C-alpha cells in the first residue's frame, strides 16, 4: 500500500478535528525521523509503507505506543511493518482526539 495514498486521509482526519498539518508532520517526524523534505520525497515518490518504514529511523520510545487499533493491541503485533503502520495510525488517532502533543510524543 502506498503511504502517499493514505497520507491525505491522515491529514483530513486531524484537520477535521482542528489539528494542523504541522502537528501531523511533527508526529511523523517523531516516529520516523523524517523531516518535511524527506517526508515530501516519499509522498512524491508514491513510496509504499514498506519502503517508507524501511528507511525510517524509528524512535526508540515507539515501544511506548500501546493500545488498540482495529481490535488489535499494537504492542502485540508480531509483524514489524504492520506494527509500525499501526504505531502511526495510533499516533494520528491520538492527535485527532485532541491529546496533548507531549503525551503523543511519549514525553520526548
Q: Where are the domains of the chain?
A: 3-100
**Grid cell listed for 49:** 509503507
pLDDT mean across residues, the chain: 96
How do residues 17-59 score in pLDDT, each as one tens digit? 999 999 999 999 999 999 999 999 999 999 999 999 999 999 9
0.85 cut: is pTM over it? yes
Q: How many CA atoms lie within 13 A of 37 on its CB side?
A: 0
pLDDT score recorded for residue 108 = 66
The answer to whether domain 3-100 has CATH 1.10.8.290 is: yes
Q: How is residue 79 annotated by DSSP? A: S
pLDDT score recorded for residue 33 = 98
Confidence at 107, pLDDT banded by 50, 70, 90: confident
Is residue 70 predicted with pLDDT exceeding 90?
A: no
Candidates 45, 40, 91, 42; CA nearest to 65 is 91
Amino acid at each position: 500500500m502506498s503511504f502517499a495514498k493514505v497520507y491525505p486521509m491522515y491529514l483530513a482526519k486531524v484537520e477535521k478535528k482542528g489539528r494542523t498539518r504541522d502537528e501531523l508532520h511533527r508526529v511523523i517526524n517523531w516516529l520516523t525521523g523524517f523531516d518535511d523534505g524527506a517526508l515530501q520525497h516519499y509522498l512524491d515518490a508514491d513510496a509504499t509503507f514498506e519502503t517508507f518504514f524501511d528507511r525510517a529511523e524509528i524512535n526508540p520510545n515507539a515501544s511506548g505506543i500501546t493500545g488498540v487499533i482495529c481490535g488489535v493491541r499494537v504492542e502485540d503485533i508480531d509483524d514489524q511493518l504492520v506494527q509500525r503502520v499501526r504505531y502511526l495510525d495510533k499516533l494520528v488517532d491520538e492527535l485527532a482526539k485532541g491529546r496533548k502533543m507531549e503525551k503523543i510524543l511519549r514525553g520526548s
